[in-house]
Amino acid sequence: MDILLQQLVNSLSVASVTILIGIGITLIFGLAGIVNFAHGEFLMVGGMATWFMVGAGINFFLALVFAGLLVGALGYAAERCLFRFTLNRPMNGFIMSIGLSVILQHAVIRVFNEFQKSIADPVGQVWTIGGVDIIAMRAIVVAITAVIVAITYFGISRSRYGMALRASVSDRDTAELMGIPVRRYVTGVFIYGSLLAGIGGALMISLFPITPFTGSVIIIRGFAVSLIGGLGNVGGAVVGGLVLGLVDGLSAGYGYPEWTDAYSLVVMILILVLRPQGLLGGTLGPKAS
């Protein structure tokens, strides 16, 4: 029983990172209409930046903020220089994002190297609650994620910005006629999603070592999460992340660990085929022109 609880706590912290990347993808794909395959690389860059800053003696939590800002700036640059030209041709944008992901991955290898990098546990405490040992950093990761999820959820579903954003997804032309600066919203969503990826990367490196190739692995999970939940649906991404995180955590502990990655892929293919709008319902993604 203790082992089960511990597995659950561990899964929850892993799920947190997945949720962060899933929310980023669900917003960018579902609301801004950009399929950004380089999102996983954004996360990896965030992790690498954190590793570099912590190595240079900066406090982890400060580094986390900087990593978020850095990757947000990266997202801004990518949107302005690349994706804004392909808004009407999502397929071209998608292919371009593959190119971007290859560039980022190998640029990181060029700047650092291809080996895995890790940082020491920034908190370094273990809490024992009811006979279960919980590594404090893991609990903090879950807490930070919960705060971000709450902010994003209320931002999208309650604030007038979120409402304007959803309006521009469902009918872009009308939204523009109503005076909503749709283009600027697209840029804003892209930056916000990228920022979340940066924070996700920082949190991830506090849990496990990462390599320059981490991004291309995590991106599939990110798409899985956002599609399982329904594109553009923040709550859906949380549910999707929890489902995947639990499946992974439990299969690593009890099932066949070598098939861990396969489960999420199978779940995702099934959902895409059987319920393309996701479990909780969302947009069907950008409409091709």
Please answer whether residues 141 and 17 qualify as being in contact, where contact means their C-beta atoms are separated by less than 8 angstroms.
Answer: yes
Any contact of residue 160 with another protein (CB under 8 A)?
Answer: no
Q: Considering the rule CB under 8 A, would residue 173 count as an interface residue with another protein?
A: yes
Q: Least distance from C-beta 84 to another protein, angstroms?
A: 11
CB closer to another protein out of 59 and 170: 170
**What is the b/e burial string over 107-121, where b = at least 16 CB atoms within 10 angstroms of the residue's CB?**
ebeeeeeeeebebee
177 lines the binding site for another protein (CB under 8 A): no
Of the two residues 181 and 257, which places its CB atom closer to another protein in the complex? 257
Residue 77 near another protein by CB under 8 A: no
User: Residue from 58, 109, 123, 280 that binds another protein (CB under 8 A)?
Assistant: 109
Q: How far is the CB of 273 from another protein (least distance, A)?
A: 5
Q: How many residues does the chain have?
A: 289
The two structure tokens encoding residue 99: 């190119």
Beta strands, E only, 162-238: none
In 112-181, where does DSSP find H-type helix? 136-157, 160-170, 172-177
> Which residues partner with 127 through β-bridges?
134
Phi, psi (rounded to 5 degrees) for 214: -60, -40
Interaction pattern, residues 229-268, with another protein; x per rule: CB under 8 A? -----------------------------xx-xx--xx-x
Binding to another protein by CB under 8 A, coded x per residue (else -) over 185-224, reads -------------------------------x---x--xx
Cβ–Cβ under 8 Å, residues 152 and 238: no
Residue 130 C-beta-side C-alpha neighbours within 13 Å: 6
Structure tokens at 288: 């091709």
Q: How far is the CB of 260 from another protein (least distance, A)?
A: 9
Binding site for another protein (CB under 8 A): 29, 35, 82, 85-86, 88-92, 94-96, 98-103, 105-107, 109-110, 173, 216, 220, 223-224, 227, 258-259, 261-262, 265-266, 268-269, 272-273, 276, 284-289
